[in-house]
A = this chain, B = another copy of it.
């Protein structure tokens, strides 16, 4: 194995942030299977932009799974700022068909914070549904929620993508991906896409399953669910109730080209950090107003999650730090993603953060963010305090 040992990272860190590189290098030097990109902006300046490990370079882009949700959140924020979408209004105001089976009073803020009780779609979703969720939206509008509105919240890992897309379709007449591209990504040349264009596809690194240790395998088995359980239902077993693997993968070109906002955004860690840096007002043109961000970061839910049982907190789309996933300060908002992804903004520290490990990291049951990303976040926050 000696010949496969990692070198240190390449890339840049700003003066005073050298310890962040040291910590990142320590991961690379002790695990030859580990590779990752990490990037951070502080007060609009790129202070960390590092990459290391086999198979990955500064130009690589990868799928960030649920961290895509935090990117899509900014599109929702634009609509709120424009007065086109009111999070405190009932969903039926924009999407009348949604009112079926006792859902008339469900609010937009509830729908976008995992409170609607529509964890899975009966029958599952296919690649076609992910490329265009219009039909899936029609089907889910006819479902009865698993719980009375207000009784619980639980991670709508896949179906929240339907809600995000349908709301944008209804409110704007165009797609979430187009709004993101035109109003957010293109003007700032952000290295992150909801729908990876052909022109960037040569940079794509396919996601690969994590290499599991024996302890991790045992942990996985301990948390294995029956194939007819809620957890599997929420992960979209497309042929439910028949067993089958998860058919939806960003390694399928159609999937990553569509950029379904629940799971299939693609970019670099620098791109993710750019996304969150764009919410600050360094250049007089923040993507979303401070007031709207405050409203979206306000916790709509906190507590044990109906699907996974672990404690989480969500604002409108955004994830919030909790005792078990302390990714940022008391003021931070963002989103983790399966197999180690993490991205967030932290207004207390004027910080934007993006992290993508590759291959996928084993992060344990029901948690996306790599523990390494939490350590990197804590270190940079401490460093900023000493600086500022």
Contacts and interface: CB of A to CB of B under 8 A. Distances in A.
B229 A329 contact: yes
Interface stretch (A21-29, A191-199, A302-310, A352-360): A302-310
B378 A226 contact: yes
A301 interface: yes
A342 to B, nearest CB: 15
Contacts of A294: 144
A381 B226 contact: yes
Interface stretch (A57-65, A130-138, A145-153, A267-275): A145-153
A299 B330 contact: no
Contacts of A372: none
A348 B117 CA distance: 18
Nearest to A241: B348
A71 to B, nearest CB: 23
A298 interface: yes
Contact of A330 (B151, B229, B326, B381): B229
A183 to B, nearest CB: 25
A231 to B, nearest CB: 8
A252 interface: no
Given A226-B326, A241-B329, A329-B228, A148 B298 contact: yes
Contact of A309 (B117, B230, B323): B323
A226 B349 CA distance: 13
Nearest to A314: B151
Contacts of A300: 147-148, 151
Contacts of A68: none
A227 interface: yes
Contacts of A151: 299-302
Interface string A229-259: 1110100000001110000000000000000
Interface of A: 102, 109, 117, 120, 144-148, 151-152, 225-231, 233, 241-243, 294-295, 298-304, 306, 309, 311, 313, 321, 323, 326, 328-330, 348-349, 378, 381-382, 385
7 contacts: A144-B295, A225-B326, A226-B378, A229-B321, A229-B326, A243-B385, A304-B311
Given A151-B299, A226-B329, 8 more contacts: A117-B299, A144-B298, A146-B298, A226-B378, A228-B330, A230-B330, A241-B349, A304-B311
